[in-house]
Structure 1
Amino acid sequence: MIRAFFRAAKVENAKPPYDTIHLKVLYPAKMSGSQQQLAQGIVPADSDKAPFPVVIFFSGINCTSQMYQWLAVQLAQRGMVVVTFDWVAENLPGIFSLTPGVDIAMWAPDKYGTGSTASALPTLLGELESLQSEGVLAGMLNLQQIILGGHSAGGRIALENAEPRFFPQVAAAFAYGAHNAAPIMLGFAPETILPLPSSLPLLLIGGTKDGVIATSSGQYGLSSDATTAVVRTFHEAITGGRDDTYLLILEGANHFSIAYPPDITTASPFDLPATQPEEAIRSLVGETIGLFIDAHVCHKPEASQGLESLLLGANPMIALLARK
């Protein structure tokens, strides 16, 4: 059984009314028949599966966290606590949107790499400390096994902040439809790929029909195709050398294949149609992410074998696979 509850938290230095994050926390639960459960609907966590590693998921810009609930539920079914959130803020001057929390100032050429680019992450980590001390998850969180994940701009934030110098409690990161090309408008030379932290396990997933990456590639001086930015990020931004960093390009997957259902009224309108069944794509994405975390964060031997079997087997949905 997977249950969830909500929290709200203030972001330090953010200006009201755009200073509040709303969190949804999903966790493995176990019915108890207690009076609190009957009266308030509060179901205890399944303590047999504790301590829980924690996944913090960063949505794409103007993408509600509900789009990723299918993935959050799958990961929680594996014995993880998953935090998704919604935050309306001013990403660019005069432009308000749902945001994963992007500190654009830290992307500047003279600042990149000197500090965190995730303006929401300190608040989220603070909330996890509170959850560890009170409520249904008290004492059940493994706060030294925090995994950052995300989609699109949120995926970039996840990858950039898997940095023990900034957040020593982070153990790994994964991203879908994300890359680390440098925006020309910030003063970078065209085709610049910014370095990523490389001391933790990383998983990059992309699709051959990613119309959003293809359409926006000109902002980075790259060719207008769906995969170049993601592939170059894997090869040029990450040092590797431990066999725990993966690149997976899915044949026929588009930018919003990870989002179900996508909100076409707010999310980017430039995607291409997927050419594989969406349910099959999500199944492969969810299984890959789950096995990646189980293998490289939870260190389950059977997960390592399962991940290799899943990715190395003959699968027409895998267009490109690399590991380093």
Structure 2
Amino acid sequence: MPPRRQIVVVILVVVAVAVRLSVAGDLPEFREAPAFRNGRECPRTAWSPASQEKNPHDPSIIHIAMTLDATYLRGSVAGVFSVLQHASCPENVVFHFIADRRRAADLRRVVAATFPYLKFHIYHFDPNLVLGKISYSIRRALDQPLNYARIYFPDLLPSGVRRIIYFDSDLIVVDDVAKLWRIDLKRHVVGAPEYCHANFTSYFTPKFWSNPVFTASFRGRRPCYFNTGVMVIDLWKWREGKFTEKLEHWMKVQKRYRIYELGSLPPFLLVFAGDVERVEHRWNQHGLGGDNLEGLCRNLHPGPVSLLHWSGKGKPWLRLDSKKPCPLDSLWAPYDLFRHSSLFSDS
């Protein structure tokens, strides 16, 4: 190879490595989580996407789906850690992570380094699926394509996975997730805590409520608000009922008529509200991040707690880092595996 060509090749390699490091460098680093092992009473399981196709719906395996991105990775890691720490059979929990293809490899390395014993798989989500369907909302974070990935779980996950629990990336579980996994969905596609005291009309614009064609979508149902950050989903029934297409329909209506102000929540309300299997409120103590504009501190709802959810603008890791935490953020802190940079070098 001529010397000039060698120099060009070396330069290209150096540039490629530099770009790679800069891309991966914006991901936070975490301490390695301890290994969580099953007790003797736990059934033995072996899972992989291929084995799931051959042996579908093994009830002893708990499938949890979450999204992964650089912005919320710290919250996702804390959520995973909390699930494992409180699970009665942690080795029987499988995580299904959805990530942008461009970041999937880097995110995989972070998860594998933080949880060396974790059973997980990362699926690639194509943002182009929703880019032309997303309408701007009251908070920019709600407009990110990955927020809409939950609509496509039945297309992304192996067909042998019948049921999943979906968790947002800003929550911690403080109870055995198997209790949530075992709820009976009966005929329903989705199970979630409902909040029928909430002002349901506020989730849609006057243009929606003044149009009888739109409001007819709730005919035969008594719709109640539910938070989509915690859902138990029957993927087989979802596919059978073509619910992805139904959700996409309302996203198209929104683009034309502007019938709501929030992001991916209202389409779920339009399709499922009033037809949800009720889950105890303890499984989604939501709203701890305040509202979508100011993110002020909030207290817990009355009653027992199995899951704490910082939905809203305020995230516990940001408030803790800014030295302006809310009182309940101290409950999230023990699950934070983020490796803070030290002021002192070991050398």
- Which structure: greater strand fraction? 1
- Structure with greater helix percent: 2
Who wins on radius of gyration, i.e. which is larger?
Answer: 2
Relative contact order, higher structure (CA 8 A, sep 6+): 2
